[in-house]
Structure 1
């Protein structure tokens, strides 16, 4: 079995299932786990985001979609040389990873025969189902039982710890310029961790909002989770939008209940580490009931002096 993963969460699922030896190629954005990152990269972005502000990235993404219909491109020669049996991709978000239709086009153009497995998770249950989906495609459905069971037990432990706690009202912000409210599985993560999500719908795409639209919510807590950003990048972008954030959530910011998180690793991806994200949120929202998260993955934020 030869697997190519064109999305970061797919690579993490392959590892969680113990199928790393079958992984022969990965995407440009795969960055975990370290021991699988020596595989050939099969995709690349159409622009270099390094050094761009969130507003500039948004503009570049929109331009790439207009000009090419996609933010990424596949290296067909590399893909053909890898001779995959299974290719993992997705059709949830054309901006987040290589979309399924682009993979199908690349296969047709090169005459590559491979099973394309689209991991189209919109909810937490969908993420857990994706683990089984990958295991079945790899011809070993039984390996999903242990991986999925372990994740569910960890989620149950968080829920049990916060079940009778007073839920703080939580505003998540998934992009700053323009601002986006989180969708898909993130609102569920907030609820599982003992919070009440204020903006964005579970199972629906993340939604562009205005600062004015979220300005009257007066949240108890704010999660600063720009899509695709690690902790330090999220902090820098929050600092760049400090005035807007302070105006939207003055009470939460003033009371020390605004946090930047490693969104790329634990919130944006439909892979196994979303469970760690729920544990992180539980520790932030209910520190009297759950362990505080590692400062390397979540930290308090306040406007720079």
Structure 2
């Protein structure tokens, strides 16, 4: 495990990550041995599961999509977090760097709460927020975190690898027909994906007809979704893996197919779309396979095709 003090260059040696995509990034930069604390949702890479957890979920288990949305709106509207930060464990871990985010109150403990707790810790650790809105900004976060931790070479290598893979996708789908795509990240209410996802769709050779790159995800009605006439609906409910996403999408199959789409597919949102970490490029490759299997024949992970509902017998 990491030393209890910064090294001779002042780079952090004990890091707590309070957002899953930052945990993935730290390990991808070769800094896993410095990570001493993570969130209860940090499940990648597998080694992260062995670190101390400093957060817990405040929402009760077993809620449906509408109930989750209502609970989140109520808590955030009252200025309350939906996650609990264990101050005692955080103090015990004695970090010199805490990595968090301010982008989304649903994704992590609030930044203000983290900053307030950090000021009371003996080491008064640096608090860094990673808040990318676009694919390019996610690469900027790689460079930022690499520089703070003194691993600039690893940061450059990771950015180069992600950029090369993204370029490979762009070249593969160049001049291909661009199907109309709707990326849906929640079902009740309906959220269409924003931030980096519309860019991923465009880079994968599609035309995102609902989301706005760099902007927040938006609530729309089912009628508004259908009015955009998508040819492909991509279901990526925030925070769920492929199998759970399929489970969440199935009750809404009637509505999803009523958009007039030719295909409705379900992907692993948690791994490849919800978290703006180093696996976003795998999400790009997955989308390119979905939209252009003739150009990108290898699927990097599972793709569920949502079946059409069987008409009720007369």
TM range (shorter): over 0.9
Counterpart of 1:163 (choices 150, 174, 183) is 174
Query: Is residue 6 of structure 2 the alignment partner of residue 9 of structure 1?
Result: no
Q: CA deviation at 1:68?
A: 4.5
Q: Helix, strand or coil: the match of 2:166? A: helix
Counterpart of 2:294 (choices 269, 285, 288) is 288
Q: Helix, strand or coil: the match of 1:173? A: strand
Report the Cα distance in structure 1 between the residues aligned to 2:258 and 2:243, rounded to whole angstroms: 22
In the comparison of the two structures, how many residue pairs are matched?
Answer: 298
Matching residue of 1:211:
222
Contact 1:44 1:74 in 2 (8 A): yes
Q: CA deviation at 1:111?
A: 5.1
Alpha-carbon RMSD: 1.4
TM alignment of 1:119-268, pairs within 5 A:
119-248=130-259, 250-252=260-262, 257-268=263-274
Task: Decide which moves more: 60-69 or 23-32.
Answer: 60-69
Contact 2:42 2:48 in 1 (8 A): no
- Give the 3 Å change call, closer, same or farther, for CA 112–63 of structure 1 in structure 2: farther
Contact 2:18 2:100 in 1 (8 A): yes
Larger Rg: 2
Query: Is residue 288 of structure 2 the alignment partner of residue 277 of structure 1?
Result: no
Contact 1:117 1:137 in 2 (8 A): no
Q: Helix, strand or coil: the match of 2:258? A: helix
Give structure 2 stretches of 5+ with no counterpart. Answer: 1-12
TM alignment of 1:83-94, pairs within 5 A:
83-94=94-105
Matching residue of 2:9:
none
Q: CA deviation at 1:53?
A: 1.2
Report the Cα distance in structure 1 between the residues aligned to 2:298 and 2:289, rounded to whole angstroms: 5
TM-score by length of 1: 0.94
TM-score by length of 2: 0.91
